[in-house]
Structure 1
């Protein structure tokens, strides 16, 4: 099967027990079923891909052009649309649903999400700086960045210097996450360890070809 994506929602973390009694921390993700909204082919679009949908919502909540576009699949309207590149689009058709059945227990997959936003953060929180000493003449500078550049030459701060600024709220991917358990009746998939994003955050599960 070609590499496919599945869109899900992060429900949170818990733990399960392995066959030998070991404790396994897992992240619970509710994924799918994601219907195929559009099939793109090399003849009509210049490349082969699938457009899948997730998070259904009433038709009046989307624009009229989107209503007409998504109605062709006959599965209703969805809040989230995502394009997935595939090698052979002829294997799929509009309205076909992708679910957690595409994965197997023990499989390694890639997980992508949007990390938690931390707002404006200082250098100690953002870059794990050690900070200034607490005594010996240091006053009100304990969490400051410290020296950031030079004096006469080159008289500027180099690009890429680690400084305070916006932290988090970025696209983050975790590779080779292990599938611990799959519960198709509830559209749930359990992954070992943590994945990016807050609770109810949108998560993309990518099956490797």
Structure 2
């Protein structure tokens, strides 16, 4: 399992060679530093602890600062483990171009936008009641099972919406810009702007080999047109 940490910047759009408009999410992926390499013999599972994005030293406590001093690295803001990943030593850098290529499909995990307290219609897509003819029921939750005088657990009710971990699977990598440390992913990813995300190898669906065959087939059948290379001003 390959993975890397990044930060969502914004959404934009580019044009393919055939002239098709593609909505993309711009993710800033700086070279990650390896803080720790966990093994099955010592920790019970295999993983790499990665870190990215600079952070002021006065914002860290002593245990966290000790980890970065051990590898002679400046403090980082976002630290996350990638399970079943190896091949890197402590203190080495993980770059996006070494893991993924254009046309590959990945899974992106992030924390979704927080919506606060929301009703059942917005939170669970319930239908509203009639709005006229003297109806006293408009956006209420409806029957709560009053016959048995109790409410079962997991009943879909009003409550906190958003701000939870969400994974979007099988997102295609449209372009990797190594000069600007930016990757363009087709579609939307969870979270607001400047939120941290984890890009992993896709767990199911289209694999890299199938994606390359599909891209070659599309490029051979498409007519060449102007492509928008300048994505970020």
| TM-score, length basis structure 1 | 0.91
Match of 1:56 among 30, 33, 54: 54
Matched, 1:114 2:111: yes
Match of 1:84 among 65, 75, 82: 82
Give the equivalent residue in structure 2 for 1:40. Answer: 38
Matched, 1:130 2:127: yes
* CA shift for structure 1 position 5: 1.9
* CA shift for structure 1 position 186: 0.8
Matched, 1:177 2:178: no
Give the equivalent residue in structure 1 for 2:96. Answer: 100
Give the equivalent residue in structure 1 for 2:141. Answer: 145
* CA shift for structure 1 position 170: 0.6
Point out where structure 2 has 5 or more consecutive residues left out of the alignment.
204-233
How many pairs are equivalent? Answer: 202
| TM-score, length basis structure 2 | 0.82
* CA shift for structure 1 position 103: 1.0
Point out where structure 1 has 5 or more consecutive residues left out of the alignment.
none
CA RMSD of aligned residues (A): 1.5
Runs of 4+ off more than 4 Å: none
Provide Cα deviations, 1:135-177, integer angstroms capped at 9, x if missing partner.
12213x31111112132xx221122221111111110001111
- 1:118 is paired with a residue whose SS is strand
Match of 1:26 among 24, 27, 50: 24
* Residues 17, 23 of structure 1: 8 Å contact kept: yes
* Residues 15, 22 of structure 2: 8 Å contact kept: yes
* CA shift for structure 1 position 208: 4.2
* CA shift for structure 1 position 108: 0.5
